[in-house]
A and B are shown apart, each in its own frame.
Chain A
């Protein structure tokens, strides 16, 4: 075997051979859309901390938003297709994948799974079309990994609810038309749909992020916000409500990370083939090849793990601790790949003209949100020992 370098390192294991035509077609369509509409600008958007909101309706038209949900204008694809779309989105930029994850798996899924028929009719078609934007507020300034201690509280006042508290690090917060907000009540954690503009509800975007710069992250404040009981998600009670949504989003992330890794590796392979030092392309040196080979091996494993978990999900038998294995492994591998790829690019690696450092920086957030690496380690640890070591 010799000659042409592989354009896509995932081709080495022919990962595409385990996908159906339809899954490949959906993946290719997302890739093409991103190549046309996102890739030419993403470096600039990252640098200027700009979220291209105008792309939301276009993503809606494709069917990306809430794509794995049935009905209410959603495309209703299988889980593997949803994963592959996340893979391509994150290969472009984790910020875009974050937008799609929050819109589809946190905001829309929370309504789809736990909402009333009226709430679904009101919000899902608009969110699916990208005409409205949603966010999901669970994390608070003092409660991240341990949301059970949350301080945001809703109390009854006649037929209404009065909501007080704040949420922190909320993706899409500042631009959301509707926020799914989780709050303590006298009968446990409950979810509420808070439309933008509700008196007492304000947001402030978080500035100076060094990660996910092409995505908006905000604080949400609730100051005596009065909500009718029809704003409550009637079927969610306890932390199971938000955690079920997080499982959906994490599923997308474990595919997405593969995309960020793949894009970094593609950039590094291409660069190594064209960069000549000591009269040879640097890809011809054993040390470079070891890096590229190791990364190709770990990326291939991550991709196969993702597809495997996707198949389990499509058979409705995936368990949360399996998703933890995927999120833990794939994000860890992806960030290691992105950083290693950066070294192959030398000084050019620190420029936004190349993707690896942007991916590495983005993946810092991905490592932390949706359950930190440590939390997923403890979940897996509990699964294999039977002992919880969280407290």
Chain B
């Protein structure tokens, strides 16, 4: 079985994050960069599958030089090889471009059976990349899985979103995105950390992935952040004492703010 895990390196969500002033992209300069936790769970799911069936796990990440650390982390957990898409032209890439690039990287792996990803990144949180990748690769998309089984050429997942739960079933090859409920990722072992150094990582750029594209035609961002303002500090709330008119006051408040 050929499994690909898509991972992203993000600023540590425990720390304060800032946007750069010139292009409103996330400032990575000062941030502690870590493998996005949800991706660790996607990787864990791949590694658990690898324990039960004969599988090769390839980890794919798009990002600057430092993203190699995120790839190494998954290799330390037990993945077999990595593909690092690294190209300055990808700075500020939006959802569509990211998905195109990742899909192209997955194609390099060849015949794949399963693509695993997190259902959203903790920095961008667009939550759309996995679906677009699936579409571009022509794979069934099984998103927001909190439980996953792979058996007899099919994947079955318990899908959980705000809107409810469903059991999804699809033939392989397929793409599955997982939620943070799916598992508790392992810690990489020291042996794994030492072995990770020796595992192969292909570093590729846009020219490798899209040899026929002319540079000008490759639109990296169709969307652009025009403005960003920090969230204002929380103001104290309004306290309403119910003297019989609380309902009315509430409704008036909501109407004044055009919330109903």
A contact set with B: CB distance below 8 Å:
21-22, 25-26, 29, 32-33, 61-64, 67, 75-77, 81
Contacts and interface: CB of A to CB of B under 8 A. Distances in A.
Given A21-B69, A21-B72, A62-B190, 15 more contacts: A22-B193, A25-B76, A25-B188, A26-B190, A29-B188, A29-B193, A32-B187, A33-B187, A61-B189, A75-B189, A75-B190, A75-B191, A76-B194, A77-B190, A81-B190
B189 A62 contact: yes
Contact of A77 (B69, B72, B194): B194
Interface of B: 69, 72-73, 76, 187-191, 193-194, 197
- B69, B187, B190, B191 — most chain A CB neighbours (10 Å): B190
A11 B191 CA distance: 27
A272 B189 CA distance: 37
22 contacts: A21-B69, A21-B72, A22-B193, A22-B197, A25-B76, A29-B187, A29-B188, A29-B190, A32-B187, A33-B187, A61-B189, A62-B189, A62-B190, A63-B189, A64-B190, A67-B190, A75-B190, A75-B191, A76-B191, A77-B190, A77-B194, A81-B190
B99 to A, nearest CB: 30
Contacts of B190: 26, 29, 62-64, 67, 75, 77, 81
Contacts of A75: 189-191, 194
Contacts of B76: 25
Nearest to B34: A28
A273 B190 CA distance: 36
A5 to B, nearest CB: 13
Contacts of A61: 187, 189
Contacts of B197: 22
Contacts of B193: 22, 25-26, 29
A84 to B, nearest CB: 11
10 tightest Cβ-Cβ pairs between the two chains A and B: A63-B190, A75-B190, A63-B189, A25-B193, A75-B191, A33-B187, A29-B187, A77-B190, A63-B191, A62-B189
Contacts of A33: 187
B180 to A, nearest CB: 15
A239 to B, nearest CB: 32
B190 to A, nearest CB: 3
Contacts of B69: 21
A81 B190 CA distance: 9
A177 B211 CA distance: 63
A250 to B, nearest CB: 22
A26 B194 CA distance: 9
A26 B193 CA distance: 7
- Output the residue of B72, B76, B193, B194 with the most chain A CB within 10 A: B193
Contacts of B187: 29, 32-33, 61-62
A79 to B, nearest CB: 13
Contacts of B189: 61-63, 75
A164 B206 CA distance: 74
